[in-house]
Chains A and B, each alone.
Chain A
């Protein structure tokens, strides 16, 4: 069975500080991995995705994530946080093939302090 674990349900950073949101996964096959962002009262928006090409993936709004197979991790980073980054972030996994379902982590709420 596949699973996604997001370490830390709530992360707080200062404006301008590094953002690091952690995601570990479990999958019996090479996965596709995603980060989504959800702003208040909105749907989920795709930030970036890993589809077995480059292990360092760049997304929108200055975010990037690195796929590390040995650590089964796909952590999300941004060098300098902006107030507008405050949102909930979800890591998700798809095992590919004919299975189009996503397995989501529980989410991490990012707070950015001025």
Chain B
């Protein structure tokens, strides 16, 4: 069955370190998205991609970057981790013109 996976599921890192969160989908979807989920804020879009070599900033992109070198993967990099980036991160993908998205299980990141 097609799926979307994220790794690691849990990560603890120190302030200032670079961190990369992996997202891999086997749906063969062109569209991929990264969100963060925080209490009181719901889901906020960080970056998104509509295809290979395409990346776009979302509403909370500062301090994050993505790259899309193939259809299956959209890694999210925190260039210099900050405590404010402690959160749960979700990756999603979609192909449908209606916009329905399929979500991964999430990565819980703690920055100390």
Bound: A101/B94 CA distance, A:
9
User: A100 touching B94 by the CB < 8 A rule?
Assistant: yes
Chain B residues close to A by CB (< 8 Å): 31, 33, 40-43, 45, 48, 50, 58, 90, 92, 94, 97-106
Q: Which residues of A contact B94 (CB under 8 A)?
A: 100
**Other-chain residue from A43, A44, A45, A94 in contact with B99 (beta carbon distance below 8 A):** A94
Q: Which residues of B contact A34 (CB under 8 A)?
A: 99-100
Contact of A46 with B by CB under 8 A:
yes
Bound: A36/B105 CA distance, A:
14
For the complex, would chain A's binding face be called helix, strand, loop or mixed by DSSP majority?
Answer: loop
Contact of A51 with B by CB under 8 A:
yes
In this complex, the member of A41, A43, A102, A107 whose beta carbon has the largest number of chain B beta carbons within 10 angstroms is A43
Chain A: residues with Cβ within 8 Å of the partner, total of 22
With A43-B103, A100-B31, A101-B33 in contact, do A106 and B98 touch (Cβ < 8 Å)? no
Bound: A80/B94 CA distance, A:
32
User: A90 touching B42 by the CB < 8 A rule?
Assistant: yes
User: B90 touching A43 by the CB < 8 A rule?
Assistant: yes
